[in-house]
Structure 1
Amino acid sequence: MSHANTNPTSPEDVVGVRWRMWRGGESGKRYGNETIRITPDGRVSIRLPTPLAHHANAPHGRYVLACRVAFAHRGTEWADRIEANRAVAYRIHLDAARDRWYITASWQIPAAPAIPLTAALVHGVIGVDTNADHLAAWRLDVHGNPIGNPRRFCYDLSGNAMHRDAQVRHALTRLLHWARTCGVKAIAIEDLDFAAEKTREKHGRRKRFRRLISGLPTSKLRARLTSMADATGIAVIAADPAYTSKWGAQHWQQPLTTTKRSTTRHDAAAVAIGRRAQGHPIRRRTAPPPAHRSDEQGHRTVQAGPETRGREGPRPRIPGPRTRSVPPGHGAYAGDQNAQHRSERSAEHVPLMLSP
């Protein structure tokens, strides 16, 4: 619950002889309430009944108050709800002792059900790369393959705190709307935290780089995304950010670039983040140099097709004499390519499921 004070020029014209007014929220209506509507910039309007329609000073029989309001307590949470058109109830009342009018906003927060990681990833995932001025996102299927084209959700972090907060909220609202449209139930984002990583002792005289990481809204954006996604039933997965930009640009930027699509380094990093959240390796298999191929210029680089059975399982046991004490296919890590730390196949980090 949150409240703000206001002092309309003619309160009698709005509420008549009544000193209070209450209206329940309506989910799906504009800004969460059709009768008492408050815009994100704090402008209050009331839809008047038919007998009082002649007092309207705005279209559609609405009366707009001369002043604007602001919610100091849980103001960001209130703004998230009205941006998503979720129900918000309002109560307008007069404090006779202070001779002030107050507006109280209230809403109900349902208990969020726990979603297993496997269930959240059943429809794929959207990988998100956080940058200083935009969010680079790409949708991946259950096998870690990019689908469609990358999306970019821009925001401007210049100006005052209210402007920056509104920009981040608007970008996240568009991201969640796209996720609901695609039917994806999980969003993967980097687990970044520059709280202790932007000092001069850490990066020396690299003022430009320190200014860059200081402008990244990492912790605030992740907390805001978790809160907003919880209300829409979308899970947020925090992935380890190690080497996502480097390996994404090295292994995914060039293969995903076509004559009609220019893939940026940030788009490739979004693919790497999504694959890591799904448990897939980021780096692609590449062919060794010709001089080091075992069968002299004939090394096989073609991957097995999706119809090939057992393409991801361990190698079959080959009968015959053995020179090692442990036969092939029976070791402790047989079939586990990531655990063997082979070339171009490294052990990936386990994703972290975030909760509000």
Structure 2
Amino acid sequence: MDGGLRELAAPFVAPGPSGVAIRTRLKRLTAVDEEVLRRVGAHLGALVCRDLKARCHDGLGHDAKAWAVRKRELTPVSSARWAGAITRATHEQWALARRCALTHLQGLQAGVRMLRHRLALPVGQKGSKRAPGGYRSRREWHAKARRLRVLEDRLARERAAWEAGRVHVVRGGKRLARMRHQLPAAQLTQAQWRARWEAARWFLRADGESGKQYGNETIRISPDGEVSIRLPAPLKQWANAPHGRYVLTGRVAFAHRGQEWTDRVAANRAIAYRIHHDPARARWYVTASWQKPVSQTVPLAAALADGVIGVDMNADHLAAWHLDVHGNPTGSPRRFCYDLSGTTQHRDAQLRHALTRLLNWARTCNVTAIAVEDLDFTAEKTREKHGHRKRFRQLIAGLPTGRLRARLVSMADAMGITVVAVDPAYTSKWGAQHWQKPLTSTTCRTTRHDAAAVAIARRAQGYPIRRRTAPPRTHQSDGCGHRTVQAGPDAPGREGPRRRLPGPRTRSVPPDAERTRATRTPTTVRGVRSEQEWVPDSLLLTD
């Protein structure tokens, strides 16, 4: 586009969620129940490790025949359904590792390109908003030249691994594996770390199957909360129910989406279950998940029929503003704060709480659409682009764009609210330029983030971010002559102020003041009171 601006993508309605996951706690478990769960999880976890090794060994040469061979090998030591769940889980884990390897490869390529660009510039050359300049000193240039060689070697290895189909997977998590060498810093003992490591490598997950009793034949949960597990073949001696099953003493109850879960169980529709243990709290949890058809997307015009709420995501809050159907901000801006420090569970809870308040406010405004930016900082997270701006890189890396988008779409779909995604280009800059000052008053101070929310909402509605539409090009340059609303070149006083017309518009001068003011003789002298008093005329009375 003219002026060096990139082309903006059109706004679109974000598709709804394709699945549901709910979790609850397994309570009132006996010592025998916990022992059975530990044995089953450890046994199946070992099988998963063995199958994952075989899947990684196949690499890109894996096919349906190899999948069937792996499943047949696992069936005698578990069961047919457990073997299917294990092979499917390992295949998904390999695919996830493959996607992560591609993301890492793209990050290395971006870093190498940025290093080569900055090293080619003279030392000390200033950069622009679109591209960084040269390095500040010769010493920094030399250090970055060495880092370029390191990244090039690393990129060559990763590219060779990608072409060969090799992936790197750590069951239990690489972060937890590295924590083993830093137990004092993590404030853990070796026994505590070992408990977490083993629990992370257990496998107690079964896929659902429609038509079977309660929607799952391996891990079955009845409508009244009874949990029974199909034991693997080597653990049949622990069964306390017919057909090699073990029934837990405790009962479960799903509070969130409980009625929806009950309806699926009663209809014998497929539900997948996962049982996992939290050693830090000494608690057991069960997660139920199922697929749902993607809801039909509402047309963009219908979603924006009642206005829209623009939301600008920041590091510590969501800035939102309600706009009517004409693109005018109404009311006052709202801010929904959250704290992204601490554990993953704490950050996730903070996001859910902020989004809940946002959606409740949208419902009170009778709005059925929320406009957000389609953010993606994949190319911005590289340390080579921003150099020594470490705090800025941490700020960008800490923004939960993917999690926020997934949470917002899922929660908005449950409340009947449509999410509209817009292009994030120039929203903060143009919003501050055109809306921050006009919307600031003595009682309401508009921030740059509030103005960006207005810009996001107007872009979703299809309006320009500028407050007024520019006239046609010919009118701007007077290419077709003077406009009809302008005075002609021969009109006297065309460049002076307009003549003041007396009348009711002035609210202080009577209509005939201009005619009588020039001929009226003053009856008073400044500072001297008039001796002649004003006497009102007598009323004319008629029959």
Report the TM-score when normalising by structure 1: 0.55
Partner of 2:250: 101
Query: C-alpha separation between the residues in 2 aligned to 1:101 and 1:9?
Result: 5
Q: Between Structure 1 and Structure 2, how many residues are aligned?
A: 221
The answer to whether residue 298 in structure 2 is matched with residue 115 in structure 1 is yes
User: What residue is the counterpart of 2:310 in the other structure?
Assistant: 127
Deviation at 1:154, TM superposition (A): 0.6
- Kindly indicate whether the alpha-carbon contact (under 8 Å) linking 2:336 and 2:354 is maintained by their aligned counterparts in 1: yes
Q: In structure 2, do the counterparts of structure 1 residues 188 and 159 end up closer, same or farther at CA, with 3 Å as the change threshold?
A: same
Alignment of 1:68-83 (within 5 A): none
Tell me which amino acid in the other structure corresponds to 2:316: D
In structure 1, which of residues 215, 218, 223 is the aligned counterpart of residue 406 of structure 2?
223
Match of residue 263 from structure 1 = 446
Question: Is the 2:373–2:422 Cα contact (8 Å) retained in structure 1?
Answer: yes
The CA deviation at 1:275 is 0.3
Note if contact 1:6-1:100 (Cα within 8 Å) is conserved in structure 2: no
Q: CA deviation at 1:6?
A: 2.6
Structure 1 residues 204-213 or 250-259, which shifts more? 204-213
**Alignment partner of 2:325: what SS?**
coil
Q: 1:156 aligns with which of 339, 350, 365?
A: 339
One-letter identity of the residue aligned with 1:234: I
Structure 2: which amino acid aligns with 1:223? Answer: A
Q: Which runs of 5+ in 1 are unaligned?
A: 11-71, 74-88, 299-356
Written as runs of structure 1 = structure 2, the 5 A alignment for 1:136-285 is: 136-285=319-468
- Structure possessing the higher radius of gyration over alpha carbons: 2
- TM-superposed CA distance for 1:283, in Å, is 2.1
User: In structure 2, the residue corresponding to 1:188 is in which secondary structure?
Assistant: strand
Cα deviation, residue 202, structure 1: 2.7
Q: 2:225 aligns with which of 73, 86, 92?
A: 92
**Distance in structure 2 (CA, Å) of the matches to 1:90 and 1:268:** 50
Q: Deviations over 1:180-213 (max 9, x none)?
A: 1111010000110113321112322211110111
Q: CA deviation at 1:8?
A: 1.9
Q: Name the CA shift for 1:90/1:226 in 2 (closer, same or farther; >3 Å).
A: farther
Distance in 2, Cα, partners of 1:267 & 1:284: 15
Q: Take 2:495 and 2:467, find their aligned partners in 1: how far apart are those partners?
A: 20
Task: Summarize deviations over 1:244-265 as a string: whole Å, max 9, x none.
Answer: 0011111100000001100001
TM superposition shift of 1:101 = 2.6
For residues 275 and 187 of structure 1, the distance between their equivalents in structure 2, rounded to whole angstroms, comes to 11
Say if 1:3 and 1:103, in contact at 8 Å, map to a contact too: no
Identity of matched residues, %: 65
The 3 A distance-change label for structure 1 pair 176 and 200 is same
CA contact (8 A) 1:156 1:167 kept: yes
For the residues of structure 1 that align with 2:251 and 2:339, how far apart are their CA atoms? Answer: 33
**Correspondent of 1:6 among 4, 26, 32:** 26
Q: Is the 8 A contact 2:27 2:252 kept in 1?
A: no
Instruction: Give yes or no for contact 2:29–2:250 (8 Å, CA) kept in 1.
Output: no
Question: Is contact 2:371-2:460 (8 Å) kept?
Answer: yes
User: Conserved in 1, the CA contact under 8 Å of 2:369 and 2:420?
Assistant: yes
- The residue identity in structure 2 corresponding to 1:239 is V
Of Structure 1 and Structure 2, the greater strand share is in 1
Letter in structure 1 aligned against 2:380: E
The secondary structure found in structure 1 opposite 2:252 is strand
Q: Are the counterparts in 2 of residues 5 and 102 from structure 1 also a CA contact under 8 Å?
A: no
Distance 2:443 2:356 in 1: 28
Post-superposition Cα deviations, 1:265-322, rounded to whole Å, max 9, x if no partner, equal 100000000000000001234999xxx9978979xxxxxxxxxxxxxxxxxxxxxxxx
Deviations 1:19-50 (A, max 9, x none): xxxxxxxxxxxxxxxxxxxxxxxxxxxxxxxx
Distance 1:193 1:183 in 2: 30
What's 1:49 paired with? Answer: none
Structure 2 unaligned runs (5+)?
1-20, 31-203, 206-221, 229-239, 241-245, 262-291, 479-485, 487-493, 497-543
Give 1:233 shift: 1.2
Rounded Cα–Cα distance in structure 2 between residues aligned with 1:2 and 1:190: 28
Higher relative contact order (CA 8 A, sep 6+): 2
The question of whether the paired residues in 2 share the 8 Å contact of 1:253 and 1:264 is answered with yes
Contact 2:308 2:322 in 1 (8 A): yes
